[in-house]
Amino acid sequence: MTSLNAKEEDEYYIAFDYVPDNQDIRNKYRQLKQLVEKSEAKIIILDMICFEYFILSFDKLVSWTGTGKTDKIKMRKDILAAIEDHRIDLSKIKNQTTMQYLSGFKKYSTERVMKSLVGEFTQNEKWSVKGQLMGECWYKDCCVSEHLDSLRCGKPEVEEGSEKMRMLIQSEEVQRVIGEVII
């Protein structure tokens, strides 16, 4: 942002992964806010928890990926219900197994939990959300897996790639954060 040559008539949006239980990110967020306050340009910070949170909270995640991990499905439910102020409110987690899963993290942060749990649901490379590009089942017509005999895709009820992307973007959580920006 320091190198941004802001034009007055433009609006700028910064998508920021705000994870308050990570000290380093908290510091960076503070710096960014100061820069935004000093700037003349119209800059809006979209404070998301992290990209993985969008994926995890997407209501079609379980059915689309076709995961059979019932324990992780339960944990996902517990954790999503406990999100408050950009973090997992541990006092809201009543389930022992979920609590054990959370306490198993070496360097615990909400973002790490989201990343790791999303990884459990998207192990099929066609549903992956790691790296630069999302797996092809997210945006291409289903199903494109080359390993048809070990198919780990839930075969979504909508098959068209662009339709799937539209559903993800229009999902509740994504809309809450970026809805007014892109629609």
User: From CA 147, how far away is CA 101, in angstroms rounded?
Assistant: 31
DSSP 8-state code for residue 78: H
Q: Considering Cα of 27, then 118, then 125, then 137, what sign does the dihedral take?
A: negative
Question: Minimal distance in Å, beta carbon 118 to Zn ion?
Answer: 17
Interaction of residue 143 with Zn ion, rule CB under 5 A: yes
Q: Residue 130: CB partners within 8 Å, gap ≥ 6?
A: 119, 122
Q: Smallest gap, in angstroms, from Cβ of residue 134 to Zn ion? A: 12
Least distance in Å: CB of 52 to Zn ion?
Answer: 20
Q: Which of 142, 152, 173, 174 binds Zn ion (CB under 5 A)?
A: 142
Could you tell me if 13 and 44 are in contact, meaning their C-beta atoms sit under 8 angstroms apart? yes
Among 56, 153, 168, 174, binds Zn ion (CB under 5 A): 153
- Would you tell me how many other CB atoms lie within 10 Å of the CB of residue 92? 12
Pick the stretch among 47-55, 98-106, 143-151, 157-165 that binds Zn ion (CB under 5 A): 143-151
Q: What x/- string results for residues 91 through 130 when contact with Zn ion is judged by CB under 5 A?
A: ----------------------------------------
Cα–Cα distance, 160 to 165 (Å, whole number) = 9
- Interface residues with Zn ion (CB under 5 A) are 137, 142-143, 153
